[in-house]
Amino acid sequence: MFFTNTPFALRTARRVAEITQNDIAAEIGRSQMYVSRLERGGYARLTPEIAEKIAALVGVPSFILFKGERK
């Protein structure tokens, strides 16, 4: 199972938490461009583990930011 993002939810949560894309990227071991793609709804492979890490960083439950899809 992979996750896809709810458009703009991650960006909003990140900004409210006052965390940069670079901060998230460093914590999850991905590039800033990867985080940017997630925020724009572009293609970026997102595993449940990464979704949970990102959700914890911004302080929002993962189900609000992401939805699971079988691929």
What pLDDT sits at residue 34?
Answer: 93
* Contacts of the segment 61-65: beta carbons below 8 A, 24+ positions apart: 62/3, 64/6, 64/9, 64/13, 65/5, 65/6, 65/9, 65/10, 65/13
Instruction: Count CB neighbours of 48 within 10 A.
Output: 13
Report the pLDDT value the prediction gives residue 36, as an integer from 0 to 100: 92
Name the residue ranges covered by the structural domains of the chain: 2-69
Query: Model confidence over 20-45: pLDDT tens digits?
Result: 999 999 999 999 999 998 888 877 78
CATH topology of domain 2-69: 434 Repressor (Amino-terminal Domain) (1.10.260)
pLDDT of residue 39: 87
User: Is the Cα torsion angle 28, 34, 39, 45 positive or negative in sign?
Assistant: negative
pTM: 0.81
Q: What is the pLDDT of residue 1?
A: 45
Distance CA 31, CA 68 (A): 22
